[in-house]
């Protein structure tokens, strides 16, 4: 008699996938490069430093002196130069400067890094180059330097325009400073300006969220990324809520009402949906970095603690300045971890892209990424799961053999995705039994 399998399956979801650790990350990187067969790809550069900590952020690295930041930029430039020839075979569709606070780079540091990318990497003709930016300290000189050197999208973590709510989140700038900075960016009319807004903030009311949306729609920005607040257990915000010094987040029902109000207002404004959480008000706002990330295309990582993927592998670079400096100065790719993705990852990636960007799942299209011997089973389990989700009010069948997410399904997109992906993964498990 076979014993039941009690091993907990690593969670699969829209954001992350389980992977089997590999002993030699650099050898795996070389293998992935050798097997690279082109297609869309992104390049991610990580700038880890922040001058202050937002209360909801669990990833705070710390500030840097001018000399520390300059030393890091020197190493990052070397890493980019060292790998330029080996990564020049296929065009790069999007470049993303993330952090941390990339806009804290000095103008000459922006110019150095962007110059390497422009001169040594095969950027596609329509390549989107995004600079994550802090509202405080984004000077005119920095803006002009970024635009002059190829940045065509600014992503700003506004989170809320309400000064009181911003203070609760540990944001430095008040409402007036936020609007002044956005005004300087949009007045140039030379790049997409996208902002992040959060809903489900501690003590946030429907009136406050609607006021945020009205301010957003009148600000002249090109796009919106609309995220539900995630109170990470290790964050300062979680500690303050637990201590009673901060109002609790709204109930699940109240958070859904906030999401519903936002969708209704954005639809009424004619916003174009780029994904279940991204909206465009201007043709310049394409959000290619997030779109390609949603479809899990190759992402080439650079910088301290940067993550990426290539082929059937996920990668993570070293997480300490000392290790990063040692590896880069030795001419090595500064990888700390490599993980081999499970055999179902081509199907999971296709499923993630549909849910994120199309908010629709086509079982036939998804199953086409599976091996022929498993395609029928994948179609069957997806249809079964999507029908079950329809009974729960999370999906709705279309006339074309696909299922679209309902508003509640979009609100619960992450657990919906996890259910579908874990159901698909069982097809491989059953085959191996």
Q: What is the pLDDT of residues 196-211, one digit of tens each?
A: 999 999 999 999 999 9
Determine the distance from the C-alpha atom of residue 247 to the mean position of all C-alpha atoms in its chain, rounded to a whole number: 28
Query: In terms of domains, do 371 and 278 share one?
Result: no
- Provide the pairing of β-strand 299-302 with 42-47: parallel
Cα separation, 359 vs 364, whole angstroms:
16
Query: Is 97 part of any domain?
Result: yes
Please give the average per-residue pLDDT across 143-156, as a whole number.
98
The confidence band for 329, taking pLDDT boundaries of 50, 70 and 90, is: very high
Per the structure, the count of domains in the chain is: 2
Provide the pLDDT for residue 363: 98
301 within domain boundaries: no
Cα–Cα distance measured from residue 227 to residue 337, given in angstroms and rounded to the nearest whole number? 29
Q: Are strands 313-317 and 360-361 parallel, antiparallel or unpaired?
A: unpaired
- As a whole number of Å, the end-to-end CA separation of the chain is 13
Are 28 and 141 found together in one domain?
Answer: yes
Bridge-based pairing state of the strands 335-340 and 313-317: antiparallel
Percentage of the chain lying above the pLDDT 70 cut:
95
Is residue 64 assigned to a domain?
yes
pLDDT surpasses 90 at 55: no
Q: Map residue 199 onto helix, strand or coil.
A: strand
7 pLDDT above the threshold of 60:
no
Tell me, yes or no, whether 385 and 278 share the same domain: no
SS3 of 110-149: the string is HHHHHHHHHHHCCEEEEEEEEEEECCCCCCHHHHHHHHHC
Where in the sequence is the domain holding 94, given as residue range(s)? 20-294
CATH code of the domain in which 186 resides: 3.80.30.20
Are 181 and 142 contacting, i.e. CB atoms less than 8 angstroms apart? Answer: no
Task: Please tell me whether residues 40 and 189 are part of one structural domain.
Answer: yes
Given a cut of 80, is residue 15 above it in pLDDT? no
Q: Where among 226, 260, 294 does a domain terminate?
A: 294
Q: Final residue of a domain: which of 276, 294, 312?
A: 294
- Per-residue pLDDT tens for 415-431? 999 999 999 999 998 87
Residue 2, pLDDT > 60, answer no
Pair (106, 241) in one structural domain: yes
Give the torsion through C-alpha atoms of 196, 201, 203, 207, to 10 deg: 40
Q: Examine the domain organization and report whether 135 and 39 are in the same domain.
A: yes
Query: Residue 71 pLDDT more than 60?
Result: yes
The pLDDT value recorded for residue 4 is: 36
Separation between Cα atoms, residue 370 and residue 345, nearest integer Å: 9
- Give the phi and the psi of residue 335 in degrees, each rounded to 5: -85, 140
Residue keyed to tokens 């075979």: 89
Average of per-residue pLDDT across 393-408:
97
Q: Which of 385, 394, 397, 391 is nearest to 413 (CA)?
A: 394
pTM, 2 dp: 0.93
Are residues 41 and 90 in contact, defined by beta-carbon separation less than 8 angstroms? Answer: yes
Residue 378, domain CATH: 1.10.10
Query: pLDDT tens digits for 84-123?
Result: 999 989 999 999 999 989 999 999 999 999 999 999 999 9
Is 368 found in the same domain as 281?
no
């Amino acid at each position: 008699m076979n014993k039941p399998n009690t091993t907990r399956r690593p969670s699969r979801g829209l954001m992350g996938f389980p992977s089997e650790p590999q002993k030699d990350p650099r050898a795996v990187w070389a293998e992935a490069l050798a097997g690279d067969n082109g297609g869309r790809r992104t390049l991610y550069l990580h700038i880890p430093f922040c001058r202050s900590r937002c209360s909801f952020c669990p990833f705070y690295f710390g500030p840097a002196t001018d000399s520390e930041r300059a030393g890091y930029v020197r190493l990052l430039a070397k890493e980019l130069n060292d790998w330029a020839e080996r990564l020049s075979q296929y065009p790069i569709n999007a470049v993303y400067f993330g952090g941390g606070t990339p806009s804290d780079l000095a103008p000459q540091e922006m110019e150095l890094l962007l110059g390497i990318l422009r001169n040594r990497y095969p950027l596609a003709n329509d390549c989107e180059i995004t600079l994550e930016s802090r509202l405080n300290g984004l000077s005119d000189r920095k803006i002009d330097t970024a635009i002059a050197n190829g940045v065509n999208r600014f992503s700003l973590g506004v989170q809320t325009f309400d000064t009181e709510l911003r203070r609760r989140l540990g944001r430095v700038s008040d409402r007036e400073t936020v609007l002044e900075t956005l005004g300087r960016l949009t007045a140039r009319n030379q790049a997409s300006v996208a902002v992040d807004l959060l809903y489900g903030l501690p003590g946030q009311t429907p009136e406050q969220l609607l006021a945020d949306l009205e301010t957003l729609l009148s600000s002249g920005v090109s796009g919106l990324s609309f995220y539900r607040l995630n109170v990470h257990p290790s964050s300062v915000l979680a500690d303050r809520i637990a201590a009673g010094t901060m109002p609790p987040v709204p109930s699940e029902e109240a958070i859904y009402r906030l999401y519903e109000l936002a969708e209704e207002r954005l639809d009424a404004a004619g916003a174009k949906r780029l994904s279940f959480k991204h909206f465009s008000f201007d043709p310049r706002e394409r959000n290619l970095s997030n779109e390609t990330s949603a479809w899990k295309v190759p992402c080439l990582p650079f910088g301290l603690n940067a993550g990426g993927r290539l082929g059937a592998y996920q990668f993570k670079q070293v997480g300490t300045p000392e290790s990063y400096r040692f590896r880069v100065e030795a001419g090595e790719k500064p990888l700390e971890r490599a993980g081999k993705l499970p055999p179902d990852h081509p199907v999971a990636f296709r499923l993630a892209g549909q849910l994120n960007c199309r908010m629709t799942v086509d079982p036939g299209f998804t199953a086409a990424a599976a091996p022929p011997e498993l395609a029928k089973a994948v179609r069957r389990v997806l249809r079964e799961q999507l029908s079950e989700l329809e009974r729960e009010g999370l999906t709705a069948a279309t006339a074309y053999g696909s299922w679209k997410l309902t508003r509640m399904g979009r609100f619960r997109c992450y657990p919906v995705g996890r259910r579908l992906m874990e159901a698909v993964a069982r097809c491989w498990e059953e085959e191996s039994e």
